[in-house]
A and B are shown apart, each in its own frame.
Chain A
Amino acid sequence: MAVFSRAFHGRREQDPALPPGQYLTEDFPVLSAGPTPPVSADDWSFTVTAESGERHAWTWAELMALPAEEPTVDIHCVTRWSKLGTTWRGVSLDVLLEDVDTAADYVLAHSHGGYTTNLPLEDVLDGKAWLAFEFEGEPLEPVHGGPVRLLVPHLYFWKSAKWISGLQLMLDDQPGFWEELGYHNYGDPWREQRYDGD
């Protein structure tokens, strides 16, 4: 038997620009599964490991030498805040995965500090995902995943792994850190795929 709290409505808005159940924020809330790891650009590297075991790695200098883009995108956190029109600077994963030979259908993103999240490979290709290192014209702050985070704005933001260290290409899907705890394997905010089974 539920107890209703009179005059409580929650913080929900019916804004057609927002996915269902989301509210608009001007802040940039910080949500982390662990402490901010001490990663500097100097010792940063990014490794793509194919299902064959073949590895491709980039240093910070090598990332900076690649063509960068400045996507302006909306972001949606599963904890219900959305932020519209955010501008980032980063390298498209199309560029990084161009020379990788793979038959994989899935990737598992790995972060410094041990965080992981899984995505279909096609969701990080065709201009849908970046390794982002600037936010609104400034170097990405460590609490927001700097020096480099994954940016996959069409999925809930837990998929945009902070402090990204690598992508593991996989033939079969494998749940990541939050997905193991019952969050959705895909996480489309427009279909409100918050939890497994949604």
Chain B
Amino acid sequence: MKKYQLGEFEEIVMLTVGILHLEAYGVSIKKEIETRLSRKVSVGALQSALIRLEDKGYLKSREGDATEERAGRPKKYFQITALGKKAMEYSKSTRNELWDAIPKMALSLKIAG
């Protein structure tokens, strides 16, 4: 049984929220991912990921101020929770373990092949 569930895109979102620290909300997360990873992110995909992460308890949110360019709608800022941090660490460490377990030969062969 998996201890922490974290999908690939979810992990990216978590990491980006971490990078942005206190400035993480819908649009800024979207832009950050788009510039850093040069991949397109739709608002829909991002939002549903954020909702899932919040449901799992990895992220928490607070409402920010309403600004004019958003036609009076508030920003929703996201922050990583302690559980979220654990999940990220878990996922990182499992990957590292997996990396370490790969024999050197396999990798070099693959590259050569």
Do the two chains belong together in a single complex?
A: no
Chain A residues within CB distance 8 Å of chain B: none
